[in-house]
Chain A
């Protein structure tokens, strides 16, 4: 009775989770646009994916800058005399800028119809796009005092979620193209499966950890956060789409689109819960 607890605020708010979601889709769409040079079935979404990635990159960039308490000082992150290369955020900023430039050049080459150089630029853009979920994963993983975040699997999980979310949005962009949908179904299925395996692994190690890990596990699996993480993220956004895609009617276009919508909802919920859940306990320390 009567304990005096000082409640601290969480460091990163929901805007950051939306940014994670948007930037993950950007990376996924860029992968697919690159893969379309090697997989003819994906060719119809080549340009659409790249343009959608550019639009979403602009939205994500605005979210990231808008979330800073000093938005105009964003230029400080591009000052070579200020940059601290021990911070994943510094690498992330350089990665985003380089990726943005590569994506614009890629779109320009595609518009000019220069297929040879466009293919090379697509590869460069895809490599830089890989850095986006990797850096966002490291952004969380480097915080040694945070259960769930501080796992080496976090960057890999973000890459898998990026492919899943990108494929999900691409299934909407593909419309009624049966061959494209069939190809996207494969990416959706395998990446969502990988996300599911990694989530089980993270939940297992968290549940069997120390007191901070166990309390974080409780926060993530009960109450409203439990509904978001387990209900929407794991069940509706990971398990159900996998079951849907593996069902006898899973190869139909309708099933792929429904699975894609579920994966998008699940991807947003997972990123929110993975960002906010592990911060709750720390606010009580």
Chain B
């Protein structure tokens, strides 16, 4: 990609001396064990009912040739993040070196504007009561494990991924594994039409599986019934 493709000054692609961390999720290797989700929950004490990363699936094919198509999801740490633009108090910001999109908890007023702006539903509101962590009633999201990466560790979900489906690294470094994977494989990003330039790349994602879930095509009443059942299950 050429630097001429940068349309916003916030973008960091191919900027000399700046890192641009990205994650490649190789769906051919994902077995849907949800270990990434559990590792993330353990790392951050994420409360019940909300997730920084989650692994939805769709059953594709026709019996007897059916399989589950997993699509691990997390914040895309967009190069041009709409959440950063929409926050009235700059509680959400992009780290210039690395491209992490992070949250200042002490500044967040809880207007949920960033949640409305995110096309990926990556943001959520923390509940008012938590057992071990005092951060409550503010918006939270995946940080690409900023605290680990700055100590030369990989994110918790990458560390735990049993099939090495998740690979993390600097996309501005031509010798990194993520650069190699993105250069040598057909990769997909979620909702490219939104112009957010996500930093989570998928290998082997079917466009049909990355669109709206099956429930979106049901009658609103049926959709509402399923939503109520889901909320009852998680006691939200």
Contacts and interface: CB of A to CB of B under 8 A. Distances in A.
Co-assembled chains A and B: yes
B47 interface: no
A284 B109 contact: no
Interface in B95-130: 107-113, 115-121, 124-125
Most interface-central of B57, B119, B231 (chain A CB within 10 A): B119
Given A8-B121, A88-B86, A283-B227, 11 more contacts: A3-B57, A4-B58, A69-B138, A73-B108, A76-B109, A77-B89, A83-B89, A143-B117, A144-B194, A215-B212, A218-B220
Nearest to B59: A2
A64 to B, nearest CB: 9
B89 A223 contact: no
5 contacts: A6-B56, A8-B124, A11-B113, A69-B109, A223-B221
A76 to B, nearest CB: 5
Interface residues of B, number: 52
What are the 10 tightest A-B residue pairs by CB atom distance, in nearest-first order?
A: A69-B110, A145-B119, A89-B88, A11-B115, A223-B220, A11-B116, A90-B88, A69-B137, A82-B89, A73-B109
A143 B108 contact: no
A148 B212 CA distance: 17
A198 B56 CA distance: 38
A276 to B, nearest CB: 12
Contacts of B117: 142-143, 145
Interface of A: 1-9, 11-12, 67-70, 73-74, 76-77, 79, 82-84, 86-90, 92-93, 139, 142-146, 211-212, 215, 218-219, 222-225, 279-285
B213 A82 contact: no
Of the candidates A69, A82, A83, the one having the most CB atoms from chain B within 10 angstroms of its own CB is A69
B127 to A, nearest CB: 10
Contacts of B111: 67-68, 89
A77 B226 CA distance: 38
Chain A CB within 10 Å, residue with most, of B73, B110, B216, B219? B216
Given A70-B137, A143-B82, A215 B116 contact: no
Nearest to B217: A215
